[in-house]
Each structure stands twice: as structure tokens, then as C-alpha cells.
Amino acid sequence: MASHQESLRALMRELHGDDQTTVRDQIVSDLYTRSAEIASATVTLPDGGRQFAFDRRLDNILTSRWLGYPVMLALLGIVFYMTIAGANVPSALLGDLFGWIEGYLTLFFAWLGTPEWVHGVLVLGLFRGVSWVVAVMLPPMAIFFPIFAILEDFGYLPRVAFNLDRFFKSAGAHGKQALTMTMGFGCNAAGVVACRIIESPRERMLAILTNNFVPCNGRWPTLITLSSLFMAGAVGLASGSLAATLVVVGIVLIGISATLAVSWTLSKTMLRGVPSTFTLELPPYRKPQFGRLLVRSVYDRTRIVLKRAVIVAAPAGVITWILANVYIGELSVIAHVAGFFDPFARLIGLDGYILMAFVLGLPANEIVLPILIMSYLSSGAMTELDDFTALKQLFLDHGWTWVTALCTMLFSLLHYPCGTTMWTIYKETSSVKWTLVAILLPTGIALSACFLVAQAARLFGWG
């Protein structure tokens, strides 16, 4: 028996060399080829095999070595363009609705005769903070996730995993990490939980530690707003939506590149090992069930977003209001903190207020932008400006250029996970060590990337 096994190994080495991955792939390929031959000889398809032929023709395009990646990027761009172009109107309507409600809440507190600080904490801090989060986050999500779910239900996402499998295998990671990465586009905490589908503990840890490099739903408002305000001229396009789409797609590609680079580095250092075999059986294409998708993508996720807004954004809004209204000398606490951060922030292309907004936005990425606006206006309350023109002028008045916007977007993309994701990482790993790695590693990468961009801009006189 041992002699027979050794002879088989010798034959495999003769045919394929020492590359065990090639051997496994050949075995799986032979199994599926033989299964297809048996099926074609014994099974009669009711439609004459038209569906199977359609799937094959479509797969020849979507999983092609030459066409698969351009099609994937084009679909990603279309999804982002629809999200960016379609979210402005509902966001404005929600903002008007919450402003109307806030007016009546103000009248109600005045009728009760409550102290001004009570109105400030509960209305200008808590209610306005939650309102901003819901108004800026809900419309993009209500567009992005149904479209994303349609692609998933149609059967396209497994094709994305198929296309990206070679990259993740080269990075020493598992092919299923492509699926967990796409989950991170909605919520990094959900992406971390989805890493349970990876059987290997080493590769599961790689996926957990790198999921933060794809932008979650809380970071979309910052990325979309800044790209819309500053990047149209930088990329030489007059159309704001198209320019913003190209920039956001570029940011996503940077995040995916960071995921692969960090996975490769960790697989060669802290998490050494051989990638495990990943055989992905592509499901047939299906007609999306739009009713079920609307319930799953809109109703369920809306409920989750509202719960997150109340639990996370509400106390953050209260704390921000207090810091903006407590004065030490002639400056508020927020101004003192921003002044403390400013020298370091300037080195990485930001300013003290931007860095402080990210620190205060630890509970939820959604509140970074409103905290920044509130700090700039020194209004003591989270404030929404009337339109993008006024918002851009506010940033320009505080010394912003397209380089500042780019560094802010890079830091938003690459920096430490939000509080919810940190807690999820700890629950999934049961390790303080790996949780700290998941926090410090992306933060170091974000600081380094922003520093290099800022110094290059100064060296070449950009912005």
C-alpha cells in the first residue's frame, strides 16, 4: 500500500512537479469534467439546455481573464454613480423633515420652560446628531444595498470571488476572503462576522484584520461628499457626479490593494502558512426576486441603521455638544483639543479639527463630517449647511485644497475601525492582542499614506 502511494506521488510529481496546488486543481478539474460527461450522457434538460448554454456564454464574459475585470469595475462604477447621483434629493428631503421636527421640539421645550442647556443637550446635541446620521446615511444605503442585493441574487457576486481568488491566493489568503470583503462594503462589523465561513483559523484571522480596508456604509458620506466638492477639477472633468464616481472607485481600489498587500505581508510574517484549497462552484444565474430583496435590503437594513443611530450617534452627539459649549478661557474644549492636534495633523495633510473629528467619531464613522462642520462653524451644535456650495466655501475658508480632501479621504478609508467593529473583532478573536493589531495596523498605514501624500504635495507644489 505504501509502495502504491509512493508511486502515485512520483507520477504526480512527474506530471505537475512539486506544486501541490496544481495537483489539487487538476484533481478537482478532472472530477468536474468527468461529472459533466456523466451528466450530459444520462440527464435530459427540460429546456434543451438553453439555460446552461446561456450561463456558459455569460460566464465567458464575466469570468474572462481579459473582460472579467473591466466588467467588474464598470458595474462597480455604475452602482456608485447611481448611489451618488440619486442620494442627494432624498437626503435633502430627510434633512428638511428633521429640521421641521426640530423646530417643533424647540417650541415644545420653550413651552416647558426648560433651561437652555437641557434644550442644547437633547435637541441640538442628541436629536440633531441622530438626524444628521440618518439623513446622510440612509439614502445612499437605500440605493446601494438593493442594487448590491440584485447582483448577489442574480448570481454575480460568486463570479467576483472567482475573479479575485487568484489575487487572494497570491497574497497567501483564502479565496472566500473576497466574499467577506464585499460584506464590509455595507458594514465592517458584518464583514468580520462573515469571516466565520473561512475554515482555516490563520486565513480567517487574515480576513478579520484586513476587512477594515474597504469603506463601510458609515464612510460613504465622507468619501462621496469630499469627492463631489473637490475632485471634479482635480481629475479634469466638469461633471461632478462622474468625477466623484471615478474618485470613489479609485478609493475602493486603493482599499482592495491595501487588503491584498497587508494580507501578503501578514502571511509572510505574523501569520505564516500555506493557503488552503478553495473550490468555488458557480451557481446558475437566477432572476432576482425583487419583493424579497426590497424587504431584506431596505426594511431590515433600515431598522438596523436606525438602531445604530440611536445607540451610537446619540451619545456621541451629546458629548460633542458638551465639549463645544464648555469653555476654558476664551476657547471651547473642542478648540483646545484641535489646537493640541494641529501640529501633528499638518504633517499628514490634515488640520487639528479634522483629526479631532476622527477621534470623536470613534463610535461611528457617520458622525465625523458633522462634527467637523460644527467645529468649523463654532456653533456649539451639529449644523447642516444649506447646500454644497456653502459647505465647500466653509472648507476653503479653513485652508482646504484638493490635497486636504484627498488626505482626509485616505485617512477615512484606512484608519482604525469604528467602535462597533472593534468590539466585534474582540468577540470573534477572543484576543486583546489581535484586536490591538486590528486597530494599530490600519492606523499606522493611514498615517503613513497621508504623510507621504502631504509631503509629496509640498515637494512638488501641488494644491
**Could you report the per-residue pLDDT of 212-254, keeping only the tens digit for each?**
999 887 788 788 888 878 876 555 554 567 777 888 889 999 9
What is the phi/psi pair of residue 327, to 5°?
Answer: -110, 140
pTM (2 d.p.): 0.80
**Phi and psi dihedrals of 237, rounded to 5?**
-120, 145
Instruction: Give the mean model confidence (pLDDT) for residues 75-85.
Output: 81
Which comes out higher in pLDDT, residue 14 or 64?
A: 64
pLDDT class of 355 with cuts at 50, 70, 90:
very high
**How much of the chain, in percent, has pLDDT values that exceed 90?**
24
Residue 124 has pLDDT above 90, yes or no: no
More confident residue, 53 or 397: 397
Burial class (CB in 10 A: 0-12, 13-18, 19+), 433: exposed
CB 302 within 8 A of CB 146: no
Confidence of residue 385 (pLDDT cuts 50, 70, 90): low
Lowest mean per-residue pLDDT among 116-130, 161-175, 297-311, 385-399: 297-311
Instruction: For residue 150, give the C-alpha cell.
Output: 440584485
pLDDT tier for residue 367 given thresholds of 50, 70 and 90: confident
Beta bridge mates, 328: 331
Closest CA to 215 of 82, 445, 411: 411
Tell which residue, 235, 262, 263, 261, has the closest CA to residue 248: 235
Q: Measure the CA dihedral 202/208/212/214, to 10°.
A: 80
Average pLDDT over residues 324-334: 86
8 A C-beta contact, residue 129 and residue 318: yes
